Amino acid sequence: MSIRELTPAQALARLQAGAVLIDVRAEHECALGMARGARSIVREALEATPARHLPDPDAEVLLICQSGRRSQLAAQALAARGYRNVASVAGGTDAWASAALPMLRPDIDADFGERYSRHLRLPEIGLAGQRRLQAARVLLLGAGGLGSPAAYYLAAAGVGALRIADDDVVERSNLQRQILHTEARIGVAKVASAATALSALNPEIRIEPLAERVDSANVERMLEGVDVVVDGADNFPVRYLLNDACVKLGKPLVYGAVHRFEGQVSVFDAGRRRGQAPCYRCLFPEPPPPDAAPNCSEAGVLGVLPGVIGMLQATEALKLLLDLGEPLAGRLLHFDALAMRFRETRLAPDPACPVCAAGTPFPGYIDYARFCSGH
């Protein structure tokens, strides 16, 4: 069935002469801008009950979408239902905007709209979700192998504030996997190097560098005001401390670890879901002997492996911030790079956990270095 097409200028003239202009895109698309004077009616709703929206089958109806394809299909559906004066706007809203015709736009600046355009087109995120990311604050504990890719993707996604804690400086041996840093910044504090790299990627976000080692005295200050914590630590005392603080303060913790050619990712959210979701201590009630869990400097690690795990951590952090999908709470994801295989282990909360069991008061912070050394 042939449908009449109008240029945007012709459609504007007909609109001013009394025609009805209907934007058939989804609501999240219309929220990013639409032709001024158009009514927003989602295509599926228009096609399902056209008489509800257009009681006069002889009225002049113009349909517009993003590029012209959906409006053509909607016009054909209306014509088949007896509407005799239907036309589609060629090129859709893209062509309308390119012709500099009047637009109704949201209150966002050009940088925001262009930078996050692919998020804004996802109905699961849209403008509301991107604003939610913009208002969020994430703590990244560590600007090393895991923190580097996680920080890059969270910054690129538009998380409004990244608080990065690390007391180390950049060394040449870091560059094989810690992609935030460069040869020129060897000897520079990692948090300063991270701030330079991330600000160059996205100058619209705030970087809060903390060049200090986390301990029982400052951990709660580091967690103050954050929505999600990403664990990029490479030692057990920090992991246990971070877990305990997140349980006490009700912060979701995105865990990641790498060893040689294998990695793990999970989400520990026991602080907000006591008795329903496990914490790190439910998985590892006692730390392994030091010689059973050497760090990267002792055992080595495939350079790309922290990239895979850190990227998965960033994915989980974004899901938590947006309340999307199914987080890895109660699940431990294992990755074997040599076999290129993922496997999943179910985790249940430990009803006897000394930190997160339902009804258990917080036991206080302990000497984590001594605890993890087995003394």
Confidence at 343, pLDDT banded by 50, 70, 90: very high
65 is known as an active-site residue = no
Could you give the CA distance from residue 12 to residue 33 in angstroms, rounded to a whole number? 16
Same domain, 199 and 324: yes
User: Given a cut of 80, is residue 254 above it in pLDDT?
Assistant: yes
Averaged confidence pLDDT in the chain = 94
Same domain, 99 and 145: no
Please give the pLDDT value at position 17.
96
Task: Flag whether 111 is in a domain.
Answer: no
pTM score: 0.86
Task: Flag whether 227 is in a domain.
Answer: yes
Q: How many CB atoms lie within 10 A of CB 231?
A: 26
Task: Flag whether 253 is in a domain.
Answer: yes
Same domain, 270 and 364: yes
Confidence at 14, pLDDT banded by 50, 70, 90: very high
Confidence at 300, pLDDT banded by 50, 70, 90: confident
Task: Flag whether 113 is in a domain.
Answer: no
User: Given a cut of 60, is residue 91 above it in pLDDT?
Assistant: yes
Please give the pLDDT value at position 294.
60
Same domain, 38 and 155: no
CATH number at residue 32: 3.40.250.10
Percent of the chain at pLDDT exceeding 90: 86
Same domain, 308 and 223: yes
Domain end: 74, 106, 138, which one? 106
Task: Flag whether 194 is in a domain.
Answer: yes
**Considering its fold, how many domains does the chain have in total?**
2
Same domain, 142 and 263: yes
The average pLDDT across 107-132 equals 91
Same domain, 241 and 321: yes
Same domain, 333 and 255: yes
Can you give the residue range of the structural domain that contains 21?
Answer: 4-106
Q: What's the distance, Cα to Cα, between the start and end of the chain in Å?
A: 82
Q: Which candidate in 246, 279, 296, 372 is catalytic?
A: 296
Please give the pLDDT value at position 105.
84
The average pLDDT across 50-71 equals 96
β-sheet bridge partners, residue 343 = 334
Confidence at 292, pLDDT banded by 50, 70, 90: low
CATH number at residue 324: 3.40.50.720
Q: Which tens digit of pLDDT belongs to each residue from 166-212?
A: 999 999 999 999 999 999 999 999 999 999 999 999 999 999 999 99
